[in-house]
Structure 1
Amino acid sequence: MGSNAHQDVLDAFHRLYYDLRERTRENNSWLGVKIWKCPLDLWVYQELLYRVRPDLVVETGTYKGGSAYFMAGIFDLMGYGRVLTVDVDEDGDRPEHDRIEYVTGSSLDPAVLAQVREEAARNKTVLVILDSDHHCDHVLAELREYSGIVTPGSYLIVEDTNINGHPVRAEYGPGPREAVDIFLADARDFVPDAACEKFLLTWNAGGYLRRVGRPAGR
């Protein structure tokens, strides 16, 4: 089977998985907490957490707190690490965990940005995950504001690059994938890491961005 045929099969499965949302993407949990992530991406996340060993993960887009809870559990196993997660909505049902700090507000609000930068400055290694408003202008603004706190050798992950026809939700309009393309045209210190797409099905294709440079030692 040629490469084009492989891609056609992969795209068809991707769309099927995405469209059967009540069975697949909207029917997942981590230790009882709803989590809206592709399980294969979560596996990659735990590999990155172990390899990069960030002291702090900054996440925009908390939703029910499932991904923050997942990463906090991985940090429990590793013995260190914290998650600072930002969302415009407050939700009292999110899981409590000593390694999670919830911040309520827009990820682009100056007060929120100041809090995030202050916290990041206290940590040696920082990894960032962007998963809030998926419109291109918002994601691009996040990329420009949050890229500076990512430490060399760590990652800036842009989620849901699959929307706007890549290959799902063709009707969405410019989103994360388009924002990444614009960002990378000027950002010389970030490169996509295709190795993070090894399971073929990912919601973040082209969005695993590694900051080049020498990783911080521990």
Structure 2
Amino acid sequence: MTDAKGFVSRAVCAALVAAYPMVAYPMVRQVVDIAAMANALAKGIETACAGRAPFSFGARPENPDDPPVLIELRDTEWAACISPISIPPLSLQLNYLFVDLKMNAPSPTKDNAMTKFQSDIQDRTQAMGADTKLQTSALAFLQSSAVAEYSYNFHWMGRPIIQYPQDIVAMQELIWEVKPDLIIETGIAHGGSLIFSASLLAMLDMTEAMEAGQTFDPSRSARKVLGIDIDIREHNLAAIDAHPMRSRIEMIQGSSIDSEVVAQVRNFAADYKKILICLDSNHTHDHVLEELKAYADLTSVGSYCVVFDTLIEDMEEDAYPNRPWGKGDNPQTAVRAFLQDESRFEIDASVHERLLITVAKNGYLRRVR
């Protein structure tokens, strides 16, 4: 709120409270001279608003036949007091006052509504976190659905993505927020995640071109997705090569923790300014910890290093009988070990708390310094 608006709001509310304490804030019980307050308001507008935002102010001299005083003020902070309010003549000296602040900024009502919407999300998230029954149900679903290979049911633009829908939405939110020019992904599989990231980078290019009033070639982009996998299968490579998003994708075949591969990735990343990392390959503790040591520092400040499949720590002991990872040896334990000596990253708990259903609880790591 500007100084001018603040002065006007408080002055009008004080006047209204003095005249009608039941319609305004009951904690203000100050006796004031209504006419003096109105005159002070007039002078305050002239002083505080002069040369600032456009406004209109009118004060009519005494006339018993004039209509009741009308005070109109568009201000969300004091909306409970005035919206607008009509009251009888204030005094013999001044019986008509009209205040109309017409700000050039976006509608305060709309801004306030969006602020409330975000606040409601925080309130719901806190309530969900405290709801033991809901948390137990969510974990039970995750455990059962992981065993049932639920995440294998979904595609992105024609390629299997092997992610939960909730995490897909979360990644979209992060990419829109960060607006990276490079996304590095370990683990390619069928290529769905590469296609997903590439398509969102394409959307960033498109929206930026629209905002700037420019045309752009959708097949050309400075933004890239770099995928690393120890074994890029021929049929998956062929499908990725044939995809419309291929021009935005680069791939490296090899272990993501091999020193030569790490050097290639770091060399490639040197030309980019806003980098987001996704780790989703071998899920053993040692492998993920080495990936974090190799790539996490490439994450830009304010961006994320997302470690998938931390859910494994919450699964039953025998959930992955044919895998080298399991309870006590997984991405979650690697994240804990990594953060013990790492102050540049924090777990953004707001992400997994909002999602409720996610394979990356405590895995959304935001770089804060």
Q: Do the two structures share a fold, i.e. TM-score over 0.5?
A: yes
Q: Report Cα offsets for 1:97-122 as digits up to 9, x if no partner.
A: 11110110000111111111011111
Deviation at 1:181, TM superposition (A): 0.5
From the two aligned structures, give the one with the greater helix fraction: 2
Q: Are the equivalent residues in 2 in contact too, given 1:163–1:170 (CA < 8 A)?
A: no
Q: Quick one: which of 12, 28, 35 aligns to 2:140?
A: 12
* Residue aligning to 1:85: 227
> What is the aligned-residue RMSD (CA, Å)?
1.5
1:28 corresponds to which of 139, 154, 163: 154
The structure with the larger Rg is 2
SS of the residue 2:185 aligns to? strand
**How far off its partner does 1:78 sit?**
1.2
Q: Structure 1 residues 54, 15: CA separation in 2 closer, same or farther (over 3 Å shift)?
A: same
CA distance in 2, matches of 1:150, 1:77: 21
Alpha-carbon distance in structure 2 between the residues aligned to 1:15 and 1:5 = 15
| 1:189 aligns to 2:319 (yes or no) | no
Give the total of aligned pairs. 209
- How far the C-alpha of 1:55 sits from its partner, in A, is 0.7
SS at 1:148's partner residue? helix
Cα offsets for 1:121-172 (capped at 9, x unmatched) = 11001111111110001111111111111111111110000003x1x25332
Mark the CA change 1:169 to 1:68 in structure 2 (over 3 Å): closer, same or farther.
farther
Match of 1:118 in 2: 267
Q: Corresponding residue for 2:360? A: 204
Paired amino acid for 1:125: K
- Whole-Å Cα distance in 1 between the matches of residues 147 and 284 of structure 2? 20
C-alpha distance in structure 2 between counterparts of 1:90 and 1:53, whole Å: 27
Letter in 2 for 1:63: A
Contact 1:25 1:38 (8 Å CA) reproduced: yes
Identity fraction in percent: 38
The SS at the match of 1:25 is helix
Distance 1:186 1:135 in 2: 20
1:3 to partner: Cα distance: 2.9
Structure 2 residue 163 is matched with structure 1 residue 37: yes
Among residues 23, 34, 52, which one is paired with 2:178 in the alignment?
52
SS in 1 for 2:226: strand
Q: Is the 8 A contact 2:277 2:306 kept in 1?
A: yes
Name the CA distance, whole Å, in 1 between partners of 2:173 and 2:224.
16
Stretches (4+) displaced over 3 A: none
Q: Contact 1:87/1:104 (CA < 8 Å) preserved in 2? A: yes
Is 1:129 aligned to 2:278, yes or no?
yes
Q: Separation in 2 of the partners of 1:146 and 1:62?
A: 16
- The residue aligned with 1:170 is 317
User: Partner of 2:197 in structure 1?
Assistant: 71
Gap change, CA 1:169 and 1:33, over 3 Å in 2: farther
Specify which structure has the bigger relative contact order, considering alpha-carbon pairs within 8 angstroms and separated by 6 or more residues. 1
Structure 1 residue 17, shift from structure 2 partner: 2.0
- The one-letter code matched in structure 2 to 1:121 is A
Q: Which SS does the other structure have where 1:162 is aligned? A: helix
CA deviation string 1:67-97 (max 9, x = no partner): 0101101111111521000000022333131
Structure 1 residue aligned with 2:292: 143
Structure 1 unaligned residues grouped into runs of 5+: 214-218
Partner residue in 1 for 2:301: 152
Match of 1:106 in 2: 255
Structure 2 segments unaligned to the other structure (5+ residues): 1-127, 206-220, 319-325
Question: Matched residues in 1 for 2:350 and 2:341: separation?
Answer: 22
